[in-house]
Structure 1
Amino acid sequence: MKDATVKRLKDQLFIARAYYPSIAKLQGKEDLSRELKQNIQEHERMLSEAISDADLPQLVENKILKMEQIIAKAKGCTVECSNVERKLRQILDLTEDETHFHMKQSAFLYHLGVQTMPKSLHCLSIRLTVEYFRAPSSDIEATHAHKFDNPSFRHYVIFSRDILAVSATVNSTVMSSKDAADAVFHIITDRQNFYAMKFWFFRNSYRDAVIHVLNIEDIDFSNLNGLGLKQFSPSEEFRISVRNFDQPQLLQMKTEYVSIFGHSHFLLPEIFKNLKKVIVLDDDVIIQKDLSPFWNIDLEGKINGAVNFCNLRFGQLEKIFGSDIHDGSSCLWMSGLNIIDLEKWRELKLTDMYQNLIQKILNNDSEETWRTAALTASLLAFQDQIFPLENSLIISGLGYDYRVNEDTIRNAVALHYNGNMKPWLDLGIPAYKKYWKMFLTQGDRFMDECNVRH
């Protein structure tokens, strides 16, 4: 343990503080009282500057020995045990309160670290945007415009605000393809990141694949009846805790991260009116093998080819879904890699169904936010419309689960870094980062200038 000595110091300090008030009241024990107080202060000073043993001064063992001897003397004095016990309880209560405060503060700071864009990535986005307007480039997309709505090509769609993440997803898909000449990637983002995305994909090539960057705010959605779907909302992740029915005797809760379509995904039929099928990727996904076989999968009349997430079932979330559940034993499904039949989507008017669900949820529960409503509506809208993909092909949990087997990772077609610990963050799980870094653009001038290091 890197803090074994620090813990030992804290234990000594705990006991010394408990004895000191009683020793200070004893007649003829002034020297012991003064010595005990002095050693308490020295321990407090050391612990104020030390988190691990490496932070402690060299003579710390002498101070520990000295404190042991003084505590032994204090224990040898005749004092009221009830006084010592009372003081120990007071210190214990204070310590528990302090621990609870630090746990809450740690959780808040961790959440803040996950949700806040790192300074280096913010710098990269700003630099690319400035450069786009400083040196306008020829619009390469215009030369490939005929491919954008041609259903004979293989169309991939990614909703993202993160340049680094989406470029790694695109690069991994292309590098893992046997032939990328018929691949068209549609990167859908918001106005704030649009020009940075445009300039990034102008500067970087991805074999023969075509990259099409769209600003969702420039797309005409006049046919829709509103409800705010035009506001950019990519895939959403939710941390869900439920009773662990696998071990009911322990009364333990288990926590899972569920990734689902955001509001913007339900605009797909409107954005790509001439396309029949697309593969939707999240920007925290890495592709390790050729995706050609996925285009030949028969969805058997279903809209969404997705991985079933059977760690959670609809029945476990009955309080969230209410009476709209068709089958409580059915598994949830995950975004990440999804095969979408747009023709079937239009036929069943799934977007209208989703909007009706959103409206119902927001009307029934004033505390429900626009974002959290997506969890219920997105999962319910696709009830009975999921074609299950083989779970071993797409491995999820790489953003929170330390227990994923390395052989399982290597054999997977796709890796999904769902969870808080994304691979482009310092908080990312080191053992899984290497699979993401393989497809990260190297040697880019703007990355170097913004100190983007992974």
Structure 2
Amino acid sequence: MGKDAATGGRVSAPGLVLLVVHHNQHEDRVEQPVLERNTGLDQVAHESLNFTEEILSARSFSRQLAEQMTLAKAYVIIAKEHNNLHLAWELSSNIRNCQLLLSKAAMRGSQAEDAHYDIATTIMTMKSHIQALEERANAATVQSTVFGQLAAEALPKSLHCLNVKLTADWLRKPSLQELADEKRNSPRLMDNNLYHFCIFSDNVLATSVVVNSTVSNADHPKQLVFHIVTNGINYGTMQAWFLSNDFKGSTIEVQNVEEFSWFNASYAPIVKQLLSADSQAYYIGGYQDNVAPKLRSPKYQSLLNHLRFYIPEIYPQLEKVVFLDDDVVVQKDLTPLFSLDLHGNVNGAVETCLEAFHRYYKYLNFSNTIISSKFDPQACGWAFGMNVFDLIAWKKADVTARYHYWQEQNADGTLWRVGTLPPGLLTFYGLTEPLDRRWHVLGLGYDLNIDNRLIESAAVVHFNGFMKPWLKLAIERYRPLWERYVNRSHPYLQDCVT
């Protein structure tokens, strides 16, 4: 073998076998005297041991193969020292084949110690790989969430284009402003014999879909009244759109939240909190690293998002309203909601605790005694987005004062983080009437696996989540539900799309 290594001879697999046999014969000759000296002891062993079975057993083959692999590794070193790289490669290749053979044998039941496998080391290695993969997956999830949040907050170019055209119309056409003044005092806006809906939004196209889908599925659309509140920037846009388009004879009112003089920091704790330096730092600077991306959404800083707690102040003469978010699509006639018996409750809503994580303890800090002493952590959550509000019962229970109390208690942000649902769960606790689930189906903005039968039976479908239907990242399966109520024939929409 040494000669082959020196002269560069090629060693084949049969050659390796001969080498193994020669090595075994040599070992046998060396060990023979020892065996003869222990004949007394071995005689007993020979009588009880079948050498043929032992030699031919899988255990023996594995042991012998492992020993010869160790010898072959030594020859690899010798070959490399004599610069016989070809021989070293041949031996290494055969060693790898033998290792593969042992691995397969181990998988079929051979014992790990016979194959010289260090299981503990393997497990530790696998754990470290799994941990590294988990860290990468977590980082990717955070990054995906941030990108999704940015995409959800961005205004699509087509929608921005539409806003610009409508604002120009509002400023350029005095007739629109005159028409708005005439409709502002319509008696239909306060007629409790009609069906009143309220929408608080700064998105004209989304609001248009809500209105259009509602009137399109109503049995008597002329009996519907829509109360829209937006901000100062989008007020002209909303007015121009709804004054220039007919929605099956329904009545539509548009108001500017900035004209609500009563809605100020001295009256509403939420206004004071949103204008505070701490709140500005929470959403814009300072605390960014400690806040989940979805909790930094600008919607939480929008006053429009909190107007739902002030509906009786906005519409003091109304008795019952249906509140709709701007990311819903109506598929059935909603007028039967107004005749539902709420059994003295203020809020009619669909409960969401069919999913285990939609219970009170998931939204509120029950380690605080103010919460734990007054609320059941397993109480069922419910959804905003399609709610029936009995405003007479609201005033009787002084619901807005309850909301103010909880906002003041949470001035330091220790009872809940952000949003309107946590304070809603507290404010309407014991005042909420569960509705049939088919009235309001949620999740079209994040859940790809909603049952088609559930969607088809729903009176209202809700695109809650980042994947809004007017964005490119919308879930394609659900987008047609929203698109069918967009008037693509409108010249402004055609111009803005192209």
**Same-fold call, TM > 0.5?**
yes
**How far does residue 167 in structure 1 lie from its aligned partner after superposition?**
0.5
- Find out whether 1:302 has 2:364 as its counterpart: no
Of 340, 345, 349, 2:394 maps to 345
Q: Measure the CA separation in 2 of the matches of 1:376 and 1:177.
A: 32
Which shows bigger deviation, 407-416 or 265-274? 407-416
Q: Measure the CA separation in 2 of the matches of 1:90 and 1:304.
A: 52
Q: Measure the CA separation in 2 of the matches of 1:74 and 1:219.
A: 88
**Distance of aligned partners of 1:263 and 1:27 in 2 relative to their CA distance in 1, 3 Å threshold:** farther
Q: Measure the CA separation in 2 of the matches of 1:28 and 1:113.
A: 65
In structure 2, the partner of 1:282 is 325
Of 163, 171, 174, 1:125 maps to 163
In structure 1, the partner of 2:422 is 376
Q: Given the two structures, how large is their TM-score scaled by the length of structure 1?
A: 0.69
Q: Normalized per residue, which structure has more strand?
A: 1
Of 383, 395, 400, 1:334 maps to 383
Unmatched 5+ residue regions in structure 1? 1-25, 33-71, 234-254
What is the CA deviation profile of residues 120-159 of structure 1, one whole-angstrom value per residue up to 9, with x for unaligned ones?
Answer: 2122212211221022334434246221122222111011
Q: 1:315-334 to 2 correspondence within 5 Å?
A: 315-317=361-363, 319=365, 322-323=371-372, 325-334=374-383
In structure 2, the partner of 1:412 is 458
Report the AA paired with residue 430 of structure 2. D
- Find out whether 1:140 has 2:189 as its counterpart: no
What is the CA deviation profile of residues 190-228 of structure 1, one whole-angstrom value per residue up to 9, with x for unaligned ones?
Answer: 111111011111121101101101101112316972324
Q: Measure the CA separation in 1 of the matches of 2:212 and 2:473.
A: 23
Q: Contact 1:232–1:263 (CA<8 Å) still a contact in 2?
A: no
Of 415, 428, 432, 2:478 maps to 432
In structure 1, the partner of 2:251 is 210
Q: Measure the CA separation in 1 of the matches of 2:230 and 2:394.
A: 22
Which shows bigger deviation, 133-142 or 290-299? 133-142
**Distance of aligned partners of 1:318 and 1:124 in 2 relative to their CA distance in 1, 3 Å threshold:** closer
Of 226, 250, 254, 2:268 maps to 226
Q: Contact 1:216–1:232 (CA<8 Å) still a contact in 2?
A: no
Give the secondary-structure state (helix, strand or coil) at the position aligned to 2:148. Answer: helix
In structure 1, the partner of 2:214 is 173
**Distance of aligned partners of 1:302 and 1:97 in 2 relative to their CA distance in 1, 3 Å threshold:** closer
Give the secondary-structure state (helix, strand or coil) at the position aligned to 2:215. Answer: helix
Q: Normalized per residue, which structure has more helix?
A: 2
Of 436, 460, 467, 1:390 maps to 436
Q: Measure the CA separation in 1 of the matches of 2:406 and 2:172.
A: 45
Q: Measure the CA separation in 2 of the matches of 1:73 and 1:137.
A: 93
Give the secondary-structure state (helix, strand or coil) at the position aligned to 1:186. Answer: strand
Q: Contact 1:324–1:380 (CA<8 Å) still a contact in 2?
A: no
Q: Measure the CA separation in 2 of the matches of 1:28 and 1:135.
A: 96
What is the CA deviation profile of residues 212-249 of structure 1, one whole-angstrom value per residue up to 9, with x for unaligned ones?
Answer: 0110111231697232449999xxxxxxxxxxxxxxxx
**Distance of aligned partners of 1:112 and 1:170 in 2 relative to their CA distance in 1, 3 Å threshold:** same
Q: Contact 1:229–1:264 (CA<8 Å) still a contact in 2?
A: no
**How far does residue 330 in structure 1 lie from its aligned partner after superposition?**
2.3
Q: CA RMSD in A?
A: 3.7
Unmatched 5+ residue regions in structure 2? 1-79, 100-121, 276-293
Aligned residues: percent identity? 31
**Distance of aligned partners of 1:342 and 1:232 in 2 relative to their CA distance in 1, 3 Å threshold:** farther
In structure 2, the partner of 1:189 is 230
Q: Measure the CA separation in 1 of the matches of 2:486 and 2:81.
A: 73
What is the CA deviation profile of residues 69-124 of structure 1, one whole-angstrom value per residue up to 9, with x for unaligned ones?
Answer: xxx99984999x9xxx9xx9999999887666554433321221122222221222
**How far does residue 359 in structure 1 lie from its aligned partner after superposition?**
0.7
Of 284, 308, 313, 1:270 maps to 313
Q: Contact 1:266–1:351 (CA<8 Å) still a contact in 2?
A: yes
Q: Contact 2:488–2:494 (CA<8 Å) still a contact in 1?
A: no
Q: Measure the CA separation in 1 of the matches of 2:377 and 2:144.
A: 36
Number of matched residues?
357
In structure 2, the partner of 1:114 is 152
Q: Which of structures 1 and 2 has the bigger CA Rg?
A: 2
Q: Contact 1:180–1:208 (CA<8 Å) still a contact in 2?
A: yes
Q: Measure the CA separation in 1 of the matches of 2:131 and 2:439.
A: 51
Q: Measure the CA separation in 2 of the matches of 1:316 and 1:231.
A: 23
Q: Measure the CA separation in 2 of the matches of 1:154 and 1:305.
A: 16
Give the secondary-structure state (helix, strand or coil) at the position aligned to 2:447. Answer: coil
